[in-house]
Structure 1
Amino acid sequence: MVGFGIRWAFAFVLLAATYNPTGWNLTRWGMENWETQMPLTLFLGLLLLVGYIIYLRATLRSIGLFGMVLILLIAATFLWVLYDYGWISLEDPTVNTWIGLALMSLVLGIGLNWSHVRRRLSGQSDIDDVDE
């Protein structure tokens, strides 16, 4: 369970570093400092891109696009239940953005962990295709 938490946290940091409602994100900083900090902006953007490639590739290989959509639908339906019972309010755009980041990072976290879950449930390991 600790492994899932760490992988989910890294997914959340990746998404939040790209964009969040505060001023502390690469998107906003890069737009404000593009002309004076272009090399650093590109460097940081490429680092984030590597993170996205790792997470998206692992997620698509483990649960696929259908699995990603299914997890998002389950999470959105859970959010709907919470809203319907009055436990949360969706009127604040800042809170909505954070909720969206949490849901997207949950999808990436589950995708990165799914092979571990499948191995424990089925006893079978996933292996990558290797060209010889």
Structure 2
Amino acid sequence: MGLLLRWACAFLLLALTYNPTQWNYIRWSMNNYQQEQPLAVLLGLLLLIWYIIYLRATLRSIGGFGMFLVLSVVGALVWVLYDWNMLSLDNPDIVTWIAILALSIVLGIGLGWSIVRRMLTGQVDMDNVDH
């Protein structure tokens, strides 16, 4: 459940920032920046902090190469589904949702890598803490 929750939070972060609907921060802030400038800045900063936390945790757990590998596997899966005519990429909205899903999988795996590693190997990750 922990891994699924971490992925869902990553998906929510990306979808709140941008998605093909009208319900996203980018579109809202572009349309309301003049009237709601303080709120737009506050929400933008909160999203930025959320991104920094997620990206830093992901980079620390799987690194840039690990992020590349996960994204490559997801991209290859999309390619296979497209090649087998199980997925159509004609609709730009679908492509955007696929990109959000792919990036959220990268962040979700990065955030939950300790859980995956513990399940696979029985080893526990721990930060070095000096007392």
Q: Distance in 1 between matches of 2:29 and 2:128?
A: 38
Where do 1:1-132 residues align within 5 Å?
2-130=1-129
Query: Structure 1, residues 94-117: CA drift from partner, whole Å, max 9, x if none?
Result: 000001000000000000000111
Query: Structure 1, residues 46-88: CA drift from partner, whole Å, max 9, x if none?
Result: 1111211111111101100000000011100011000111111
Letter in 2 for 1:45: G
Q: Distance in 2 between matches of 1:26 and 1:5?
A: 24
Q: Distance in 1 between matches of 2:118 and 2:87?
A: 36
Q: Runs of 5+ in structure 1 lacking a partner?
A: none
Contact between 2:17 and 2:25, CA under 8 Å: does it hold in 1?
yes
Q: Distance in 2 between matches of 1:12 and 1:129?
A: 29
Q: Runs of 5+ in structure 2 lacking a partner?
A: none
Q: Give TM-score, length-normalised by structure 1.
A: 0.93
Segments ≥4 residues shifted beyond 3 Å: 129-132
SS in 2 for 1:43: helix
Q: How many residues align?
A: 131
Q: Distance in 1 between matches of 2:57 and 2:86?
A: 34
